[in-house]
Amino acid sequence: MIKTIFVCLTIFVLVKCENDSRPKFIIDNDAGGDDAMAIFLSLLYEKHFNGPKLVALTTGNGNTQEDNVCYNNQRILKVANRQDIPIYRGSKKSLVKTPSVTDYYGKDGLGDSGETYPDLVPAKDEGAVSALIDYSKKYEGQLTVITIGSLTNVALAVTLDPGFLGRLNHLYIGAGHIHSEANPEPEFNAQVDVEAYHIIAQNATADKVTVFPFSQAREYLNFTKDWRINVLGAINTEIIKHQNKYEKVSLQKEPRWQALDPAVISLFLRPDLVQEYKYSKNDIHICGTNRGIVTNEFVEKEKANVRIAYSVKTEEYRQFLLDVFKYDANSPVSN
Ligand SMILES: *[C@@H]1O[C@H](CO)[C@@H](O)[C@H](O)[C@H]1NC(C)=O
Ligand SMILES: *[C@@H]1O[C@H](CO)[C@@H](O)[C@H](O)[C@H]1NC(C)=O
Ligand SMILES: *[C@@H]1O[C@H](CO)[C@@H](O)[C@H](O)[C@H]1NC(C)=O
């Protein structure tokens, strides 16, 4: 009897899971301390707020070399107790010119804590680009891809499969600045693979592609280090304790805390956090001294190729982070 109930329950759970109609998403990342926060946030929101389902992680060269990025993805999933999520390994180089990696988040990309983790789950054999294409077919119309690293993997998917973008529900890109006197330099994620950015911009349409430029995070999500360390960082969970270690190196480098990656994810999870969208003819300079600088011409929607998340509700975003990160990897789901 007990056994029958158990079997029925198992079948019910399996069927229910297979028929999960929640939106799906993939995070294409170069973890990186801020990528780690984005992934933790996604998993906690999925579990405790019945949020969209993170179906895979794809990796690429960026904050640190791709070998580290893959290892970091494994470690992050272990800490989050979500090693069921597959990792697909992607680009080790940019399409044309690969800038050298920075050690912004430490040499290993996660704050050089030296901690080792047993029992990590290896990445899949399938590569990131073909996985992106396969998932876009499996979840046609339901899948959002969010890039918070270089754009190499997505540019290759667009190039190999011209139908790729059309099958997505949406593509979110965290890269570039709105060029101004305050932000005269190329932004890191855009600069890592300039040609990849250009390929995507060429194929983008404003109903499918949203860009959140780092300049806008700097302006609207310009928090003090004191808040990061003594309010958000003081939450007593395993996830936040790890997150603090991952940002240990980077937090010493800047006077403020302005994190792009968790913000990009948040604007997808909670579109109401966006104050204003603008529509733009968006591209990137490929040649000359302006190489890597993103261009925007604000136009009406019909003439635009991307939607720009231009401003964010600062205090609502701050509260959102606190609301999500009060949960830990093993917190029970409350009803
Ligand atoms: C999934 O669930 C919905 C609503 O419960 C139902 O209408 C649909 O037929 C189910 N799909 C499959 C493939 O079981
Ligand atoms: C993107 O590429 C596909 C395939 O080449 C094409 O059908 C589509 O029109 C392109 N979209 C844009 C906006 O260029
Ligand atoms: C961030 O806040 C600091 C302190 O108020 C200010 O000096 C700086 O200009 C702000 N940065 C941006 C991009 O708004």
CATH code for position 44: 3.90.245.10
CA–centroid distance, residue 162 to ligand 2 (Å): 6
Q: Are 259 and 37 in contact (CB under 8 A)?
A: yes
- What is the residue with the minimal CA distance to atom 8 of ligand 2? 203
5 exposed, middle or buried (CB, 10 Å; 0-12, 13-18, 19+)?
A: exposed
Instruction: Tell whether ligand 2 has an atom less than 6 A from the beta carbon of residue 162.
Output: yes
In a domain, 123, yes or no: yes
From its phi and psi, is residue 6 left (phi > 0), alpha (psi between -120 and 50) or beta? alpha
CA–centroid distance, residue 129 to ligand 1 (Å): 30
In a domain, 17, yes or no: no
CA–centroid distance, residue 154 to ligand 2 (Å): 14
Tokens standing for residue 309:
């998340």
In a domain, 7, yes or no: no
Instruction: Tell whether ligand 2 has an atom less than 6 A from the beta carbon of residue 166.
Output: no
- What is the residue with the minimal CA distance to atom 6 of ligand 3? 222
- What is the residue with the minimal CA distance to atom 9 of ligand 2? 203
CA–centroid distance, residue 307 to ligand 2 (Å): 17
In a domain, 18, yes or no: no
Ligand nearest to the CA of 219: 3
Ligand nearest to the CA of 21: 1
Tokens standing for residue 167:
């099958």
In a domain, 9, yes or no: no
- What is the residue with the minimal CA distance to atom 1 of ligand 3? 222
Q: Which domain holds residue 266?
A: 23-325
Max Cα distance, the chain (Å): 75
Task: Return the residue matching tokens 């070399």.
Answer: 65
Half-sphere CA count of 112, side-chain side, radius 13 A = 8
In a domain, 11, yes or no: no
Instruction: Tell whether ligand 3 has an atom less than 6 A from the beta carbon of residue 220.
Output: no
What is the C-alpha to C-alpha distance for residues 248 and 25, in angstroms, rounded to an integer? 28
In a domain, 222, yes or no: yes
Number of domains in the chain: 1
In a domain, 334, yes or no: no
255 CA closest ligand 3 atom index: 3
- What is the residue with the minimal CA distance to atom 4 of ligand 2? 162
205 CA closest ligand 2 atom index: 13
Q: Which residues pair with 296 in a beta bridge?
A: 282
Q: Which pTM was predicted? A: 0.92
CA–centroid distance, residue 19 to ligand 1 (Å): 6
Q: Are 325 and 240 in contact (CB under 8 A)?
A: yes
- What is the residue with the minimal CA distance to atom 7 of ligand 2? 162
Instruction: Tell whether ligand 2 has an atom less than 6 A from the beta carbon of residue 210.
Output: no
pLDDT (tens, 9 = 90+) of the chain, 335 residues, equals: 666 666 655 555 555 555 578 999 999 999 999 999 999 999 999 999 999 999 999 999 999 999 999 999 999 999 999 999 999 999 999 999 999 878 999 999 999 998 888 899 999 999 999 999 999 999 999 999 999 999 999 999 999 999 999 999 999 999 999 999 999 999 999 999 999 999 999 999 999 999 999 999 999 999 999 999 999 999 999 999 999 999 999 999 999 999 999 999 999 999 999 999 999 999 999 999 999 999 999 999 999 999 999 999 999 999 999 999 999 999 999 75
